[in-house]
Chain A
Amino acid sequence: MPTLTPDEWQALALSLKVSFWATALSLPVGLLTALVLARGTFRGKSILNGLVHLPLILPPVVTGYLLLLTFGRRGPVGAFLDANFGIVFSFRWTGAALAAAVMAFPLMVRAIRLSIEAVDARLEDAAGTLGANRLWTFVIVTLPLILPGVIAGAILGFAKAMGEFGATITFVSSIPGETRTLPAAIYGYTQVPGGQPQAMRLTLIAVAVAMTALIASEFVARRVARRIRDG
């Protein structure tokens, strides 16, 4: 098996890092959002639902551009974060992670929300009559039952983050070692003469990573489901 060149390693490692943080940080928010959408009854629920799904239907370039306007150095949120916390997104890997997280968010929320809706709410009522408040009910009853869905949502989000291209390149460009993720690198190679072989090698790596993630998620989800079903 041919070894990877330093450039290829750099792109792969960066993609994994960006996707990991994008998934890890958006998972709690996604879980909460899914919970609110599945169990909450409040005014403006459909607006929240629409906002969550927006990145799924907008052209990625638009999402990237909106991120640039908002989180860029001169954007309102970006300027605030830079001035007060020293957090900078533009042209940094953190920006790539943010773009990936935003793009992966709807898929993650959808998967988790479906699993929450599949949980019998009457079990949560039963937990309530046994003295468990809402937080404990969630921790002891709901969360274990939706764990396969949460894992599926996380893996789906991770896979989407790995493949994110449009919003990322619009928001943070493609800087080697900083924001040049696997898809950005592949695109770069296709744009230069004689770059086809490298593009092909990176493509195969991308396929391998995606397949590994999918198989791993299937495996984990099935194990968790079996443990829940019959111990």
Chain B
Amino acid sequence: MSLDVRLRHAFGSFILDVDFTAPAGVTALFGRSGAGKTTVVNAVAGLLRPAEGRIVVDGATLLDTARGVDVPKHRRRIGYVFQEGRLFPHLSVRQNLAFGGWFAPRTAPQPDFGQVVALLGIAGLLDRRPGLLSGGEKQRVAIGRALLSAPRMLLMDEPLAALDEERKAEILPYLERLRDETRVPILYVSHTVAEVARLATTVVALKDGRVARIGAAADVLSDAGAAPLFGPTEAGAVIGARVLRHDPDGLSELAAGGGRLLLPRVAAAPGTTLRVRIHARDVIVALRQPEAISALNVLPAVVAQIGGGEGPAVDLSLICGPDRVLARITRRSLIALDLAPGRPCFAILKSVALEGRESGETTAAFRAEDR
């Protein structure tokens, strides 16, 4: 499965000109407001006809302006989860969910209603009207409705943007399960790095209507050259780490590719692989193994890449075993320590944030395809 998108479209002086291929799994379409993200998903869904372009999902050509192909939106079979839910107010939750199934072609593999309801935890809402649901519940129903239309792929346009932090935290685990338990590829629009870091297998970073970076999430997020796209406070790498054991003093020990990590007790059984995020601003670089410091997580590393950028700060990509970690240090330190690609050093991690479960299956699938 893959999604090929090539689009050219102008809105006044803004020109969208993108060309990318998204593999299976969750592809995050990341960018600041106005980068053209929603235009891309609307074009994929058939809600907007671009001036020029070609969209192919899983071998099916949905749009090809050069050949005059433009499949109407109701025949594209693209499940769209809108930012504001867009549930039908006059239908019950059950009817909203069933809606897509009414029009799905009989030949399409139909997801099981009960399974989708269970996956999203909405069994208790079925007989209610959308008007009486909370924002988080609405979004879960909207996701279920899109899934049950037997789509070729799911589009999610900032599905969490209208929700408060608590509701976001309520939905994210469901999105992870969706990623790991269904085979439906997802194009996930977001301007929030945390969501991208948590969910994405692939990242397409848009800037000013163009693709600025594309690649596996771990690669793009640890790319020193791409760090400015994500912003000084949010840039940071994600790495996978397996839970080894829970220590009695309240810490959990995890094995990352580049060494051991200690985190405050994580709610996962030993053996589980988790995704952790290390903000670039939380990494200190030392040339010698530090002694007698309070930081618990120190990984041996090698400088791989030094990012550009203006101002006093600079981003470094560090190789830690098979993983890459991003560090943000001052230019002055860079010169003082004489850091250059190939130079061994130590990464002192001031904090490591647990992001969620690592999707073993889809990541492996992506890597296999990538090679």
Tell me whether B89 and A130 are in contact (CB under 8 A): no
The interface residues of chain B lying within 8 Å CB-to-CB of A131 are: 74-75, 77, 100, 102-104, 149
Contacting pair B131 A130 (CB below 8 A): no
Do residues B86 and A123 form an inter-chain contact, with CB atoms below 8 A? yes
Contact with B along A96-125 (1 / 0, CB 8 A): 000000000000000000000000101101
Tell me if B80 and A129 are in contact (CB < 8 A): yes
B155 shortest CB reach to chain A, Å: 8
Q: Least Cβ distance of B285 to chain A in Å?
A: 48
Task: Tell me if A129 and B90 are in contact (CB < 8 A).
Answer: no
Q: Is B45 among interface residues, defined by CB-CB distance under 8 A?
A: yes
A126 at the interface (CB under 8 A from B): yes
Residues of A within 8 A of B129 (CB): 229-231
Whether, in the assembled complex, B88 has its beta carbon less than 8 Å from a beta carbon of chain A, the answer is: yes
Residue pair B46, A128 in contact (C-beta under 8 Å): yes
In whole angstroms, what is the CA distance A126 to B131 when docked? Answer: 17
Question: Which residues on A sit within 8 Å (CB–CB) of B78?
Answer: 129
- In the complex, are the beta carbons of A126 and B82 less than 8 A apart? yes
The residue among B47, B72, B89, B100 with the most chain A CB atoms within 10 A of its own CB is B89
A125 in contact with B149 given A130-B100, A228-B90 (CB within 8 Å) = no
* Binary contact track A150-186/B, C-beta < 8 Å → 1, others 0: 0000000000000000000000000000000000000
Q: Tell me, in angstroms, the Cα distance from A130 to B105 when the chains sit together.
A: 11
Chain A residues lying within 8 Å of B86, measured Cβ to Cβ, are 120, 122-123, 125-126
Bound complex: CA A133 to CA B75 (Å): 8
Contact B104 A231, beta carbon cutoff 8 Å: no
Contacts of A228 on B, CB cut-off 8 Å?
A: 89-90
Beyond A129-B46, A129-B47, A131-B74, is A136–B103 a contact (Cβ under 8 Å)?
yes
In the complex, whether A12 has a CB less than 8 A from a CB of chain B is no
Cross-chain pair count, CB within 8 angstroms: 73
Say which one of A25-33, A38-46, A66-74, A138-146 lies at the interface with B. Answer: A138-146
- The reply on A132 being an interface residue by CB < 8 A is yes
- Mark interface residues in B120-131 (1 if CB within 8 Å of A CB, else 0): 000000000101
Q: A123-B86, A130-B149 are in contact. Are A140 and B76 (CB under 8 A)?
A: no
In this assembly, does A127 line the interface, its C-beta being within 8 Å of a C-beta of chain B? yes
B168 at the interface (CB under 8 A from A): no
B90 touches A145 (CB 8 A): yes
Residue B92 is within 8 A (CB to CB) of chain A in the complex: yes
Do B74 and A231 have beta carbons less than 8 Å apart?
no
Q: How far apart sit A133 and B73, CA to CA, in the bound complex (Å)?
A: 8
Is the CB–CB distance between A122 and B82 below 8 Å? Answer: yes
Cβ contact within 8 Å between A230 and B131: yes
How far, in angstroms, from A230 to B133 measured CA to CA in the complex? 11
Residues of B within 8 A of A130 (CB): 74, 79, 99-100, 103, 145-146, 149
Please name all residues of chain A whose beta carbon is closer than 8 Å to the beta carbon of B335 when the two chains form the complex. Answer: none
Task: Output the nearest chain A residue to B76 by Cβ-Cβ distance.
Answer: A129
- Most A CB atoms within 10 A — which of B89, B90, B103, B131? B90
Contact B47 A145 (CB under 8 A): no
Most-contacted residue by chain B among A130, A145, A231 (CB, 10 A):
A130
User: Closest CB of chain A to B133's CB: distance in Å?
Assistant: 12
The answer to whether A128 and B82 touch across the interface, beta carbons within 8 angstroms, is no
Whether a CB of chain A sits under 8 angstroms from the CB of B368 is: no
Closest to B155 in A: A129
Q: How far, in whole Å, are A132 and B75 apart by their CA atoms in the complex?
A: 8
Q: Mark B124-165, 1 if CB is under 8 A from A, else 0.
A: 000001011000000000000110010000000000000000
- In contact, A126 and B77 (Cβ under 8 angstroms): no
Report B-chain residues with C-beta under 8 Å of the C-beta of A231: 92, 129
* A126 CB contacts on chain B under 8 angstroms: 80, 82, 86, 88
Output the nearest chain B residue to A141 by Cβ-Cβ distance: B88
Could you tell me if A125 and B88 are in contact, using CB atoms closer than 8 angstroms?
no
- CB neighbours (8 Å) of B100 from chain A are 130-131
Q: Please, which residues of chain B bring their CB within 8 A of the CB of A141?
A: 88
Task: Give the distance to chain A from B324, nearest Cβ to Cβ, in Å.
Answer: 38
A–B complex contacts, Cβ < 8 Å, 15 sampled? A126-B88, A127-B88, A128-B72, A129-B78, A129-B79, A129-B146, A130-B79, A130-B99, A131-B77, A131-B104, A132-B99, A132-B102, A133-B74, A141-B88, A228-B89
- Supplied contacts A123-B86, A126-B82, 6 more A-B pairs, CB within 8 Å: A126-B86, A127-B99, A129-B80, A130-B79, A228-B89, A230-B129
Chain A residues packing against B (C-beta within 8 Å): 120, 122-123, 125-133, 136-137, 140-141, 144-145, 227-231
9 pairs of A and B residues whose beta carbons are closest in the complex: A131-B103, A126-B86, A129-B80, A128-B73, A228-B90, A130-B100, A144-B90, A231-B129, A130-B149
